[in-house]
């Protein structure tokens, strides 16, 4: 079974995705985005977006559910805007107070072998 990695980084942001030890054993395919941080001078330039896209894509391919609790930071980011931002990646609000969001894995088709198909036209003249 492939494991979703824990730490994600690019040149100006980092993301941590962990298994919550309080979850029961049968929820072993659930991970919590516990930290998403961008250096203050590099915010609003796509660094966090790049990381979250990577994590969501890998979680989709490996079949993991992602959860997070968005938290306000600074004065320019309101919780409502942050929730909308996470919704862009497929997260939905599953609890209102405190806000808790989750993202189920989306189907990602992968090609593992080359196959050939033959088509038969039902309208072809019979001879």
Q: What pLDDT is attached to residue 53?
A: 97
CA angle 88, 101, 25 (to 5 degrees): 130
Would you say residue 38 has pLDDT above 90? yes
- 116 upstream amide cis, omega within 30 of 0: no
Would you say residue 114 has pLDDT above 70? no
Helix (H, G, I), strand (E, B) or coil at 115: coil
Helix (H, G, I), strand (E, B) or coil at 74: coil
Q: Residues 91, 68: contact at Cβ < 8 Å?
A: yes
Instruction: Record the pTM.
Output: 0.79
């Amino acid at each position: 079974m492939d494991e979703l990695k824990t730490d994600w980084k690019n040149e100006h942001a980092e993301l941590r995705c962990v298994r919550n030890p309080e979850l029961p054993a049968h929820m072993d395919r659930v991970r919590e985005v516990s930290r998403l941080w961008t250096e203050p001078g590099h915010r609003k330039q796509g660094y966090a977006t790049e990381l979250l896209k990577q994590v969501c894509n890998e979680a989709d391919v490996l079949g993991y559910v992602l959860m997070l609790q968005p938290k306000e930071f600074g004065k320019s980011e309101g919780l409502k805007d942050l929730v909308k931002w996470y919704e862009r990646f497929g997260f939905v609000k599953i609890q209102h107070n405190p806000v808790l969001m989750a993202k189920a894995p989306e189907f990602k088709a992968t090609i593992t072998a080359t196959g050939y198909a033959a088509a038969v036209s039902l309208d072809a003249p019979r001879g």
